[in-house]
Amino acid sequence: MYDGSRSLGWKEPPITYLQPTQLFYEFVRDGKIKIANKLKEPVTVQDPCSIVRNKGLGGMLRSVVKAACEDFRDVKPRFEHNFCCTAGSGVINYGPPWKFIRMEGGRTKIEQLHATGAKIVIAPCHSCHKTIEELIAYYKLDMHVMFISELLVQTMEIPEDMQVVKPEKSEE
Amino acid sequence: MIKMQRKTVTDQGFDETVKNLTPEKIEKTINYVLKKEAAARLKAYVETCVHCGLCNEACHFYLSYDRDPSYSPVSKVRQTLWDMMKKKGKVDAETLKMYARIGYTECNICRRCSMYCPFGIDMGYLMILVRRICGLLKVAPLYLQDQGYSHMYTYSQSWVAQDDWVDTVQFVEEEIRMDIKNARIPLDKEGAEIMYSPHSLEAKFKTNLLANIAKIMNVAKIDWTMPSFDGWDSTNQAMHVGDHETMGMVERMHFNAGFKLKVKKIVTSE
Protein backbone atom coordinates (compact mmCIF):
# COMPACT_ATOMS: atom_id res chain seq x y z
CA MET A 1 0.00 0.00 0.00
CA TYR A 2 2.27 2.68 -1.30
CA ASP A 3 1.03 6.00 0.08
CA GLY A 4 -2.39 4.39 -0.20
CA SER A 5 -4.31 5.75 2.74
CA ARG A 6 -2.39 9.04 2.59
CA SER A 7 -3.49 9.66 -0.98
CA LEU A 8 -7.08 9.34 0.23
CA GLY A 9 -6.57 11.97 2.92
CA TRP A 10 -5.94 9.76 5.94
CA LYS A 11 -2.66 10.49 7.69
CA GLU A 12 -2.56 6.96 9.07
CA PRO A 13 -4.66 3.97 7.98
CA PRO A 14 -8.11 4.48 9.59
CA ILE A 15 -8.24 0.87 10.77
CA THR A 16 -5.08 -0.81 12.04
CA TYR A 17 -4.00 -3.33 9.50
CA LEU A 18 -1.61 -6.19 10.15
CA GLN A 19 0.31 -8.58 8.00
CA PRO A 20 -0.39 -12.27 8.70
CA THR A 21 3.26 -12.64 9.74
CA GLN A 22 2.61 -10.37 12.71
CA LEU A 23 -0.62 -12.18 13.52
CA PHE A 24 1.07 -15.58 13.46
CA TYR A 25 3.88 -14.21 15.62
CA GLU A 26 1.33 -13.13 18.22
CA PHE A 27 -0.43 -16.51 18.06
CA VAL A 28 2.80 -18.41 18.63
CA ARG A 29 4.00 -15.99 21.34
CA ASP A 30 0.71 -16.11 23.25
CA GLY A 31 0.44 -19.88 22.94
CA LYS A 32 -2.76 -19.77 20.87
CA ILE A 33 -1.02 -21.97 18.36
CA LYS A 34 1.15 -24.74 19.74
CA ILE A 35 3.80 -26.37 17.58
CA ALA A 36 3.58 -30.15 17.79
CA ASN A 37 5.90 -31.57 15.15
CA LYS A 38 8.77 -29.36 14.08
CA LEU A 39 10.13 -29.49 10.53
CA LYS A 40 13.40 -31.39 10.35
CA GLU A 41 14.75 -30.21 6.98
CA PRO A 42 17.10 -27.22 6.76
CA VAL A 43 14.98 -24.10 6.29
CA THR A 44 15.67 -20.54 5.21
CA VAL A 45 13.47 -17.47 4.75
CA GLN A 46 12.68 -14.90 2.11
CA ASP A 47 12.27 -11.34 3.41
CA PRO A 48 9.61 -9.77 1.19
CA CYS A 49 10.08 -6.06 0.49
CA SER A 50 6.54 -5.14 1.52
CA ILE A 51 6.69 -6.91 4.86
CA VAL A 52 10.31 -6.54 5.90
CA ARG A 53 11.67 -3.41 4.23
CA ASN A 54 8.48 -1.39 4.49
CA LYS A 55 7.02 -2.71 7.74
CA GLY A 56 10.06 -4.16 9.53
CA LEU A 57 8.62 -7.55 10.45
CA GLY A 58 11.81 -9.54 9.74
CA GLY A 59 12.31 -10.41 13.40
CA MET A 60 8.75 -11.67 13.82
CA LEU A 61 9.06 -13.78 10.67
CA ARG A 62 12.22 -15.42 11.99
CA SER A 63 10.75 -16.03 15.39
CA VAL A 64 7.79 -17.93 13.86
CA VAL A 65 10.09 -19.92 11.59
CA LYS A 66 12.49 -20.75 14.43
CA ALA A 67 9.58 -21.91 16.57
CA ALA A 68 8.38 -24.30 13.88
CA CYS A 69 11.66 -25.59 12.45
CA GLU A 70 14.65 -27.36 13.94
CA ASP A 71 17.33 -26.36 11.46
CA PHE A 72 17.05 -22.69 10.53
CA ARG A 73 19.69 -21.13 8.29
CA ASP A 74 19.60 -17.39 7.82
CA VAL A 75 20.21 -15.66 4.51
CA LYS A 76 22.87 -13.07 3.85
CA PRO A 77 22.20 -10.14 3.36
CA ARG A 78 19.08 -10.18 5.44
CA PHE A 79 16.29 -8.07 6.91
CA GLU A 80 15.87 -4.76 5.11
CA HIS A 81 19.04 -5.38 3.10
CA ASN A 82 17.61 -8.50 1.50
CA PHE A 83 17.27 -8.79 -2.27
CA CYS A 84 13.88 -8.55 -3.92
CA CYS A 85 12.54 -11.75 -5.50
CA THR A 86 12.19 -9.93 -8.90
CA ALA A 87 8.42 -10.26 -8.86
CA GLY A 88 7.50 -7.19 -6.85
CA SER A 89 5.24 -4.35 -7.99
CA GLY A 90 3.20 -6.45 -10.38
CA VAL A 91 6.10 -7.91 -12.40
CA ILE A 92 4.75 -11.35 -11.45
CA ASN A 93 1.57 -10.56 -13.39
CA TYR A 94 3.11 -9.62 -16.75
CA GLY A 95 2.53 -13.05 -18.22
CA PRO A 96 4.64 -15.24 -20.51
CA PRO A 97 6.28 -12.49 -22.63
CA TRP A 98 8.09 -11.16 -19.57
CA LYS A 99 8.94 -14.32 -17.70
CA PHE A 100 12.56 -14.14 -18.84
CA ILE A 101 13.09 -10.87 -16.97
CA ARG A 102 12.21 -12.54 -13.69
CA MET A 103 14.31 -15.60 -14.39
CA GLU A 104 17.40 -13.66 -15.48
CA GLY A 105 17.02 -10.86 -12.96
CA GLY A 106 16.45 -13.32 -10.12
CA ARG A 107 19.87 -14.92 -10.41
CA THR A 108 21.20 -12.94 -7.45
CA LYS A 109 18.25 -14.02 -5.36
CA ILE A 110 18.48 -17.72 -6.08
CA GLU A 111 22.26 -17.78 -5.60
CA GLN A 112 21.76 -16.18 -2.22
CA LEU A 113 19.15 -18.75 -1.19
CA HIS A 114 21.17 -21.65 -2.58
CA ALA A 115 24.24 -20.57 -0.57
CA THR A 116 22.39 -21.24 2.68
CA GLY A 117 22.14 -24.94 1.82
CA ALA A 118 18.50 -25.02 2.88
CA LYS A 119 15.96 -27.33 1.30
CA ILE A 120 12.86 -25.30 2.15
CA VAL A 121 12.33 -21.56 1.68
CA ILE A 122 9.63 -19.96 3.80
CA ALA A 123 7.99 -17.07 1.91
CA PRO A 124 5.17 -15.05 3.45
CA CYS A 125 4.27 -13.33 0.18
CA HIS A 126 2.37 -14.67 -2.84
CA SER A 127 4.62 -13.09 -5.46
CA CYS A 128 7.79 -14.27 -3.75
CA HIS A 129 6.37 -17.77 -3.41
CA LYS A 130 5.53 -18.18 -7.07
CA THR A 131 8.68 -16.60 -8.44
CA ILE A 132 11.11 -18.46 -6.19
CA GLU A 133 9.37 -21.73 -7.08
CA GLU A 134 9.82 -20.85 -10.77
CA LEU A 135 13.43 -19.80 -10.20
CA ILE A 136 14.17 -23.14 -8.53
CA ALA A 137 12.76 -24.97 -11.56
CA TYR A 138 14.64 -22.69 -13.99
CA TYR A 139 18.00 -23.16 -12.26
CA LYS A 140 17.26 -26.87 -11.54
CA LEU A 141 17.85 -26.83 -7.80
CA ASP A 142 16.69 -29.23 -5.14
CA MET A 143 14.57 -26.83 -3.10
CA HIS A 144 10.97 -26.14 -2.34
CA VAL A 145 9.02 -23.04 -1.29
CA MET A 146 6.45 -22.97 1.48
CA PHE A 147 4.05 -20.33 2.68
CA ILE A 148 4.30 -19.30 6.30
CA SER A 149 0.65 -20.31 6.81
CA GLU A 150 1.37 -23.68 5.19
CA LEU A 151 4.25 -24.16 7.62
CA LEU A 152 2.03 -23.46 10.62
CA VAL A 153 -0.75 -25.75 9.39
CA GLN A 154 1.71 -28.59 8.90
CA THR A 155 3.39 -28.21 12.26
CA MET A 156 0.66 -26.98 14.60
CA GLU A 157 -1.09 -29.07 17.19
CA ILE A 158 -4.83 -29.53 16.62
CA PRO A 159 -6.63 -29.69 20.00
CA GLU A 160 -8.33 -33.01 20.76
CA ASP A 161 -11.87 -31.63 20.66
CA MET A 162 -11.23 -30.35 17.14
CA GLN A 163 -9.75 -33.51 15.67
CA VAL A 164 -11.80 -35.30 13.09
CA VAL A 165 -12.23 -39.02 13.61
CA LYS A 166 -11.47 -40.57 10.26
CA PRO A 167 -14.14 -43.04 9.08
CA GLU A 168 -11.64 -45.89 8.50
CA LYS A 169 -10.62 -45.81 12.13
CA SER A 170 -14.15 -45.78 13.48
CA GLU A 171 -15.04 -48.89 11.48
CA GLU A 172 -12.27 -50.96 13.04
CA MET B 1 26.61 7.38 -23.44
CA ILE B 2 24.99 4.22 -22.11
CA LYS B 3 24.22 1.60 -24.72
CA MET B 4 20.97 -0.24 -24.23
CA GLN B 5 21.05 -3.88 -25.23
CA ARG B 6 17.69 -5.53 -24.80
CA LYS B 7 15.82 -8.51 -26.20
CA THR B 8 12.91 -7.69 -28.47
CA VAL B 9 9.69 -8.56 -26.69
CA THR B 10 6.25 -8.45 -28.26
CA ASP B 11 3.62 -7.25 -25.86
CA GLN B 12 0.37 -5.90 -27.25
CA GLY B 13 0.05 -3.60 -24.27
CA PHE B 14 3.12 -1.75 -25.53
CA ASP B 15 3.07 -2.27 -29.28
CA GLU B 16 -0.58 -1.65 -30.07
CA THR B 17 -1.28 1.18 -27.65
CA VAL B 18 1.58 3.40 -28.79
CA LYS B 19 -0.03 3.54 -32.25
CA ASN B 20 -2.89 5.63 -30.86
CA LEU B 21 -0.62 8.28 -29.38
CA THR B 22 0.16 11.67 -30.87
CA PRO B 23 3.20 13.77 -29.87
CA GLU B 24 0.86 16.44 -28.45
CA LYS B 25 -0.87 13.93 -26.20
CA ILE B 26 2.42 12.58 -24.91
CA GLU B 27 3.77 16.08 -24.24
CA LYS B 28 0.59 17.13 -22.44
CA THR B 29 0.55 14.05 -20.19
CA ILE B 30 4.25 14.21 -19.30
CA ASN B 31 4.05 17.89 -18.43
CA TYR B 32 0.85 17.37 -16.44
CA VAL B 33 2.41 14.68 -14.25
CA LEU B 34 5.80 16.35 -13.88
CA LYS B 35 4.48 19.83 -13.14
CA LYS B 36 1.13 19.27 -11.44
CA GLU B 37 1.43 15.96 -9.63
CA ALA B 38 5.09 15.60 -8.77
CA ALA B 39 6.37 19.17 -8.63
CA ALA B 40 8.32 19.76 -5.40
CA ARG B 41 9.20 16.21 -4.42
CA LEU B 42 10.57 15.40 -7.84
CA LYS B 43 12.59 18.61 -7.99
CA ALA B 44 14.13 17.90 -4.60
CA TYR B 45 15.17 14.40 -5.65
CA VAL B 46 16.55 15.49 -9.01
CA GLU B 47 18.55 18.35 -7.54
CA THR B 48 19.92 16.25 -4.66
CA CYS B 49 21.25 13.33 -6.70
CA VAL B 50 25.02 13.64 -7.16
CA HIS B 51 25.37 10.63 -9.49
CA CYS B 52 27.70 8.85 -7.07
CA GLY B 53 26.51 5.41 -8.17
CA LEU B 54 26.31 3.94 -4.66
CA CYS B 55 22.88 2.60 -5.57
CA ASN B 56 24.32 0.36 -8.30
CA GLU B 57 25.47 -2.45 -6.02
CA ALA B 58 22.07 -2.48 -4.34
CA CYS B 59 20.10 -3.40 -7.45
CA HIS B 60 19.50 -7.09 -8.08
CA PHE B 61 19.05 -6.47 -11.81
CA TYR B 62 22.45 -4.77 -11.99
CA LEU B 63 24.07 -7.69 -10.14
CA SER B 64 22.21 -10.41 -12.06
CA TYR B 65 23.13 -8.94 -15.44
CA ASP B 66 26.85 -8.99 -14.58
CA ARG B 67 27.03 -5.34 -13.53
CA ASP B 68 25.61 -3.98 -16.76
CA PRO B 69 25.51 -0.22 -16.09
CA SER B 70 22.30 0.24 -18.06
CA TYR B 71 20.48 -1.69 -15.31
CA SER B 72 21.75 0.47 -12.46
CA PRO B 73 19.08 2.50 -10.62
CA VAL B 74 20.55 5.89 -11.46
CA SER B 75 20.77 4.93 -15.11
CA LYS B 76 17.12 3.86 -15.15
CA VAL B 77 16.09 7.25 -13.80
CA ARG B 78 18.42 9.00 -16.21
CA GLN B 79 16.98 7.18 -19.20
CA THR B 80 13.41 7.95 -18.20
CA LEU B 81 12.61 10.93 -16.00
CA TRP B 82 15.71 13.03 -16.67
CA ASP B 83 15.31 12.43 -20.38
CA MET B 84 11.68 13.57 -20.24
CA MET B 85 12.63 16.67 -18.31
CA LYS B 86 15.50 17.53 -20.64
CA LYS B 87 13.26 17.23 -23.70
CA LYS B 88 10.39 18.99 -21.89
CA GLY B 89 8.03 16.17 -22.80
CA LYS B 90 8.66 16.37 -26.53
CA VAL B 91 9.29 12.68 -27.16
CA ASP B 92 8.07 10.24 -29.79
CA ALA B 93 6.10 7.05 -29.25
CA GLU B 94 9.14 4.75 -29.57
CA THR B 95 10.96 6.59 -26.78
CA LEU B 96 7.85 6.35 -24.64
CA LYS B 97 7.83 2.61 -25.22
CA MET B 98 11.39 2.47 -23.93
CA TYR B 99 10.42 4.48 -20.84
CA ALA B 100 7.58 2.05 -20.21
CA ARG B 101 9.81 -0.96 -20.60
CA ILE B 102 12.29 0.40 -18.06
CA GLY B 103 9.62 1.62 -15.67
CA TYR B 104 7.50 -1.51 -15.72
CA THR B 105 9.85 -4.40 -16.32
CA GLU B 106 13.30 -3.41 -15.13
CA CYS B 107 12.52 -2.14 -11.66
CA ASN B 108 10.67 -3.98 -8.90
CA ILE B 109 10.27 -0.83 -6.77
CA CYS B 110 11.84 -2.82 -3.94
CA ARG B 111 13.53 0.36 -2.66
CA ARG B 112 16.72 -1.41 -1.71
CA CYS B 113 18.70 1.26 -3.55
CA SER B 114 17.16 4.00 -1.40
CA MET B 115 18.81 2.40 1.61
CA TYR B 116 22.25 2.79 0.05
CA CYS B 117 21.67 6.32 -1.23
CA PRO B 118 23.56 8.82 0.95
CA PHE B 119 20.60 11.22 0.60
CA GLY B 120 17.86 8.63 0.89
CA ILE B 121 16.33 9.44 -2.48
CA ASP B 122 13.20 7.35 -2.89
CA MET B 123 13.78 5.57 -6.20
CA GLY B 124 10.49 3.76 -5.80
CA TYR B 125 8.66 7.04 -6.04
CA LEU B 126 10.57 8.05 -9.16
CA MET B 127 9.83 4.79 -10.95
CA ILE B 128 6.18 4.95 -9.93
CA LEU B 129 6.12 8.37 -11.54
CA VAL B 130 7.34 6.85 -14.81
CA ARG B 131 4.60 4.23 -14.51
CA ARG B 132 2.06 6.95 -13.79
CA ILE B 133 2.93 8.73 -17.05
CA CYS B 134 2.88 5.53 -19.11
CA GLY B 135 -0.25 4.32 -17.33
CA LEU B 136 -2.13 7.50 -18.18
CA LEU B 137 -1.19 6.95 -21.82
CA LYS B 138 -2.27 3.27 -21.50
CA VAL B 139 1.18 1.98 -22.43
CA ALA B 140 1.65 -0.92 -19.98
CA PRO B 141 2.06 -4.70 -20.13
CA LEU B 142 -1.18 -6.22 -21.40
CA TYR B 143 -1.66 -8.67 -18.54
CA LEU B 144 -1.21 -5.93 -15.97
CA GLN B 145 -3.68 -3.63 -17.72
CA ASP B 146 -6.16 -6.47 -17.77
CA GLN B 147 -5.94 -6.78 -14.00
CA GLY B 148 -6.33 -3.06 -13.61
CA TYR B 149 -9.56 -3.25 -15.60
CA SER B 150 -10.67 -6.21 -13.52
CA HIS B 151 -10.46 -3.99 -10.44
CA MET B 152 -12.75 -1.49 -12.15
CA TYR B 153 -15.26 -4.06 -13.26
CA THR B 154 -15.42 -6.81 -10.63
CA TYR B 155 -13.62 -5.06 -7.73
CA SER B 156 -11.14 -7.90 -7.55
CA GLN B 157 -7.83 -8.56 -9.24
CA SER B 158 -8.59 -11.71 -11.19
CA TRP B 159 -12.13 -11.34 -12.49
CA VAL B 160 -13.74 -13.02 -9.48
CA ALA B 161 -17.15 -11.46 -8.98
CA GLN B 162 -18.82 -11.18 -5.58
CA ASP B 163 -21.11 -14.21 -6.03
CA ASP B 164 -18.17 -16.41 -7.03
CA TRP B 165 -16.35 -15.29 -3.92
CA VAL B 166 -19.14 -16.38 -1.58
CA ASP B 167 -19.33 -19.67 -3.44
CA THR B 168 -15.59 -20.25 -2.94
CA VAL B 169 -15.85 -19.57 0.77
CA GLN B 170 -18.62 -22.12 1.20
CA PHE B 171 -16.63 -24.66 -0.74
CA VAL B 172 -13.49 -24.05 1.34
CA GLU B 173 -15.46 -24.26 4.58
CA GLU B 174 -16.74 -27.68 3.64
CA GLU B 175 -13.25 -28.78 2.76
CA ILE B 176 -11.54 -27.72 6.00
CA ARG B 177 -14.10 -29.68 7.98
CA MET B 178 -12.28 -32.80 6.82
CA ASP B 179 -9.37 -31.76 9.04
CA ILE B 180 -10.94 -29.68 11.77
CA LYS B 181 -14.21 -30.62 13.41
CA ASN B 182 -17.02 -28.08 13.04
CA ALA B 183 -14.71 -25.46 11.55
CA ARG B 184 -16.42 -22.25 10.47
CA ILE B 185 -15.64 -19.38 8.13
CA PRO B 186 -17.87 -16.61 9.43
CA LEU B 187 -18.87 -14.04 6.81
CA ASP B 188 -20.18 -10.56 7.62
CA LYS B 189 -19.86 -10.92 11.38
CA GLU B 190 -20.30 -7.45 12.84
CA GLY B 191 -17.92 -6.24 15.54
CA ALA B 192 -15.42 -9.05 15.04
CA GLU B 193 -11.88 -8.72 16.34
CA ILE B 194 -10.18 -9.37 13.00
CA MET B 195 -11.27 -9.00 9.38
CA TYR B 196 -9.19 -11.11 7.04
CA SER B 197 -8.81 -9.67 3.54
CA PRO B 198 -7.72 -12.39 1.17
CA HIS B 199 -5.61 -12.16 -1.94
CA SER B 200 -7.69 -12.50 -5.08
CA LEU B 201 -5.84 -15.68 -6.02
CA GLU B 202 -7.06 -17.32 -2.82
CA ALA B 203 -10.57 -17.07 -4.22
CA LYS B 204 -9.62 -18.37 -7.65
CA PHE B 205 -6.98 -21.05 -7.90
CA LYS B 206 -5.09 -21.03 -4.62
CA THR B 207 -7.97 -21.83 -2.34
CA ASN B 208 -5.69 -24.00 -0.21
CA LEU B 209 -4.18 -20.78 1.14
CA LEU B 210 -7.57 -19.56 2.26
CA ALA B 211 -8.11 -22.97 3.85
CA ASN B 212 -4.78 -22.63 5.70
CA ILE B 213 -5.76 -19.27 7.18
CA ALA B 214 -9.19 -20.60 8.15
CA LYS B 215 -7.61 -23.59 9.87
CA ILE B 216 -5.20 -21.42 11.84
CA MET B 217 -7.97 -19.01 12.88
CA ASN B 218 -10.17 -21.89 14.00
CA VAL B 219 -7.43 -23.61 15.99
CA ALA B 220 -6.40 -20.32 17.62
CA LYS B 221 -10.10 -19.69 18.45
CA ILE B 222 -10.09 -16.16 17.05
CA ASP B 223 -13.16 -13.98 16.61
CA TRP B 224 -12.71 -13.31 12.89
CA THR B 225 -14.71 -12.58 9.78
CA MET B 226 -14.53 -11.77 6.08
CA PRO B 227 -16.79 -9.52 4.02
CA SER B 228 -19.18 -11.24 1.63
CA PHE B 229 -19.64 -8.01 -0.31
CA ASP B 230 -17.31 -6.12 -2.67
CA GLY B 231 -14.15 -4.90 -0.99
CA TRP B 232 -13.08 -8.37 0.13
CA ASP B 233 -10.01 -8.37 -2.09
CA SER B 234 -6.90 -6.83 -0.52
CA THR B 235 -4.82 -6.63 -3.69
CA ASN B 236 -4.41 -3.51 -5.73
CA GLN B 237 -2.95 -3.91 -9.19
CA ALA B 238 -4.21 -0.51 -10.32
CA MET B 239 -1.43 0.92 -8.16
CA HIS B 240 1.15 -0.87 -10.30
CA VAL B 241 -0.36 0.24 -13.59
CA GLY B 242 -0.14 3.87 -12.51
CA ASP B 243 -3.90 4.31 -12.44
CA HIS B 244 -4.11 6.23 -9.16
CA GLU B 245 -7.83 6.93 -9.52
CA THR B 246 -8.77 3.24 -9.50
CA MET B 247 -6.14 2.65 -6.85
CA GLY B 248 -7.94 5.10 -4.57
CA MET B 249 -11.28 3.45 -5.22
CA VAL B 250 -9.93 -0.02 -4.39
CA GLU B 251 -8.27 1.24 -1.24
CA ARG B 252 -11.40 3.04 -0.09
CA MET B 253 -13.58 -0.03 -0.70
CA HIS B 254 -11.18 -2.09 1.33
CA PHE B 255 -11.39 0.19 4.36
CA ASN B 256 -15.13 0.68 3.87
CA ALA B 257 -15.61 -3.06 4.27
CA GLY B 258 -13.85 -2.76 7.62
CA PHE B 259 -16.02 0.21 8.67
CA LYS B 260 -19.18 -1.59 7.65
CA LEU B 261 -18.36 -4.65 9.71
CA LYS B 262 -17.07 -2.50 12.63
CA VAL B 263 -13.96 -4.62 12.99
CA LYS B 264 -11.00 -3.73 15.21
CA LYS B 265 -8.19 -4.87 12.91
CA ILE B 266 -7.75 -5.77 9.28
CA VAL B 267 -5.34 -8.56 8.38
CA THR B 268 -4.17 -8.49 4.78
CA SER B 269 -3.09 -11.56 2.90
CA GLU B 270 0.66 -10.91 2.73
CATH number, domain containing residue A82: 3.40.50
> Which residue in chain A has the smallest CA separation from B178?
A164
Number of domains composing chain A: 1
> To the nearest whole number, what is the mean pLDDT of chain B?
90
Domain membership flag for residue A36: no
Mutation to test the A interface, candidates B56, B196, B270, most A Cβ within 10 Å: B270
Contacts of A93 in chain B (CB under 8 A): 141, 143-144, 147, 237, 240
Q: Do B181 and A86 make contact, defined as CB atoms within 8 angstroms?
A: no
Q: Calculate the CA dihedral of residues B175, B176, B180, B184 and round it to 10 degrees.
A: -110
Chain B CB within 8 Å of residue A155 CB? no
CB pairs under 8 A between A and B: 190
Domain membership flag for residue A17: no
Per-residue model confidence as pLDDT tens digits over A138-171: 999 999 999 999 999 999 988 888 888 776 655 5
Question: Would you state the pLDDT for residue A171?
Answer: 54
Q: Do B239 and A2 make contact, defined as CB atoms within 8 angstroms?
A: yes
Contacts of B114 in chain A (CB under 8 A): none
Mutation to test the B interface, candidates A93, A114, A150, most B Cβ within 10 Å: A93
Taking 70 as the threshold, does the pLDDT of residue A106 lie above it?
yes
Mutation to test the B interface, candidates A23, A27, A127, most B Cβ within 10 Å: A23
Instruction: Write down the domain spans for chain B.
Output: 12-140, 155-267
> Which residue in chain B has the smallest CA separation from A26?
B220
Domain membership flag for residue A68: yes
Q: What is the fold of B12-140?
A: Fumarate Reductase Iron-sulfur Protein; Chain B, domain 2 (1.10.1060)
Per-residue model confidence as pLDDT tens digits over B132-144: 999 999 999 999 9
Per-residue model confidence as pLDDT tens digits over B193-207: 999 999 998 898 889
Q: For B256-267, what is the mean pLDDT?
A: 93
CB nearest to A159's CB, from B216, B219, B240 = B219
Domain membership flag for residue A14: no
> To the nearest whole number, what is the mean pLDDT of chain A?
88
Higher pLDDT, A8 or A67: A67
Enclosing domain of residue A128: 42-157
ipTM: 0.90
